[in-house]
Amino acid sequence: MRFSLPGTGDVRQVPVFGCECKVCCQARVNVRRRRRPCCALLETPQGDLLIDAGLTDLAERFEQKGLNAILLTHYHVDHVQGLFHLRWGMGEKIPVYGPSDVQGYADLLKHPGILKFMPAAEPFQRFELSGIGVTPIPLQHSKPTYGYLLEYNNSLIAYLTDTVGLPEQTQIFLKQLLKERRIDLLVMDCSYPPQNTTPRNHNDLNMALEIHHSLRPCRTVLTHISHEMDLWLSDHPDSLPDHVQVARDDDDFLF
């Protein structure tokens, strides 16, 4: 199994339009410093599973190899904008799973094209996609939002973005799960550097590390990174504890 992060940025991405901070200036000349919309891709011999669809080149990326299914965390534009071009393609329907949100985004649900929007996934109810066990878990955001537990063979990945902290029912569920097994990889929303007050929609580093210490995964990878977070990290290069790292676009992990 190969798990990768094609995009690790927040809604503004990096570089931010019009910004002259050192992080954004570096990103304009060094492609490795750029951040595209936050998403993930799970590849197995049975098929490929995309989590979120903010990348606008999905039709090009998957035209030759195909795409078995898409999981949406929620319907904010930076997580679904790639679907607007993809939906008018040709060929077999692509199943799309996500939380219940009758508003969705724009006319995606009304005019899905080749996208097949499935009935809303039930929280905490495990189902299978191409041999991958998928369990939706509720997160805290300004729209109905799911994180996902992904199981393949003996590996367990927790993908938790977009969120600010974790709802109580999700904390209880994860603590119960951890009595039986350990999370191999936790991919965690960390949009902001440490703040003096609780952020509104996304974790700052304090909250992300609190979740890391609570869940005690083998490894935590921080994603949904803003240019403010990158700027803070450039000034505090040794600030992260062991087993915690900041993701870069196209980082991948083999299981």
* Average pLDDT in the chain: 95
pTM given for the model: 0.95
Q: What is the pLDDT of residues 112-145, one digit of tens each?
A: 999 999 998 899 999 999 899 999 999 999 999 9
| Domains of the chain, start order | 2-254 (3.60.15.10)
CA atoms within 13 Å, Cβ hemisphere of 210: 11
Q: What is the pLDDT of residues 49-107, one digit of tens each?
A: 999 999 999 999 998 778 999 999 999 999 999 999 999 999 999 999 999 998 899 99
Q: What is the pLDDT of residues 20-64, one digit of tens each?
A: 999 999 999 999 999 999 999 999 999 899 999 999 999 999 987
Task: Evaluate if residue 203 carries a pLDDT over 90.
Answer: yes
d(CA 87, CA 99): 19
Q: What is the largest CA-CA distance in the chain?
A: 51
Q: What is the pLDDT of residues 163-178, one digit of tens each?
A: 999 999 999 999 999 9
Per-residue pLDDT at 84: 96
What whole-number percentage of the chain has pLDDT above 70? 100
Sign of the alpha-carbon torsion through 190, 72, 81, 91: positive
Residues 82, 94 contacting (CB under 8 angstroms): no
d(CA 93, CA 89): 10
d(CA 189, CA 205): 9
Give the β-pairing of 94-97 and 69-71. parallel
For residues 141-161, average pLDDT: 96
